[in-house]
Structure 1
Amino acid sequence: MDSAVARERVLDAAEELFYGRGIQSVGMDDIRGTSGVSLKRLYQLFPAKEQLVEAYLERRDGRWRGRLAEFVERRPDPDERILAVFEWLEHWFGEEGFRGCAWINSYGELGATSDRVAHQVRAHKKAFGDYLGALVADAGRPADLAGPLFLLAEGAMVTAGITRSTRPAVQAREAARMLLDR
Structure 2
Amino acid sequence: MIDEQTARERVVSAADRLFYARGVQAVGMDAVRSESGVSLKRIYALFPSKEDLIVAVLRHRTDRWNAGVTDAVDGAGTPRERLLAVFDFLAGWFREDDFRGCAFINVFGELGGGSDRIAEAVREQKESFRRQVADLVRAAGGPGHLAPQLVLLAEGAQTAAAISRDPDMAGHARAAADTLIRCALDDAGEPAAAA
TM-score scaled by structure 2?
A: 0.91
3-state SS of 1:23 partner = coil
> Where in structure 2 are the equivalents of 1:12-161 lying within 5 Å?
12-161=13-162
Structure 2 partner of 1:177: 178
Deviation at 1:117, TM superposition (A): 0.8
> Is this contact kept in 1: 2:29–2:50, CA < 8 A?
yes
The one-character-per-residue Cα deviations of 1:39-70 (angstroms, maximum 9, x if unpaired) are 11111011100000000010111111111111
One-letter code aligned to 1:69: T
- Structure 1 residues 72-110: Cα deviation after superposition (integer angstroms, max 9, x where no partner): 111120001111111110111111100000100010000
Query: What is the number of equivalent residue pairs in this alignment?
Result: 182
Q: Which runs of 4+ in 1 moved over 2 A?
A: none
Q: What root-mean-square deviation, in Å, do the aligned CA atoms of Structure 1 and Structure 2 show?
A: 0.8
Query: Aligned AA for 1:114?
Result: S
Q: What amino acid is the match of 2:50?
A: K
Is the CA contact (8 Å cut-off) linking 2:104 and 2:122 kept in structure 1?
yes
- Counterpart CA distance in 2 for 1:88 and 1:144 is 22
Code of the aligned partner of 1:120: A
Structure 1 unaligned residues grouped into runs of 5+: none
Identity, % of aligned positions:
51
State how far apart, in whole Å, the 1-side matches of 2:143 and 2:5 are: 45
One-letter amino acid of the structure 1 residue matched with residue 127 of structure 2 = K
Structure 2: gaps spanning 5 or more residues: 184-195
- Which of structures 1 and 2 has the bigger CA Rg? 2
SS in 2 for 1:98: coil
SS at match of 2:145: helix
Please report how far the alpha carbon of residue 165 of structure 1 lies from its aligned counterpart in structure 2 after TM superposition: 1.6
| TM-score normalized with structure 1 length | 0.98
Q: Give, in angstroms, the shift of residue 181 of structure 1.
A: 2.1
| 1:175 Cα deviation from its structure 2 partner | 0.5
State whether residues 15 and 57 of structure 2, in contact with CA within 8 Å, keep that contact through their aligned partners in structure 1: yes
Q: CA deviation at 1:9?
A: 1.0
Distance 1:134 1:6 in 2: 36
Secondary structure of the structure 1 residue equivalent to 2:38: coil
Partner of 2:11: 10
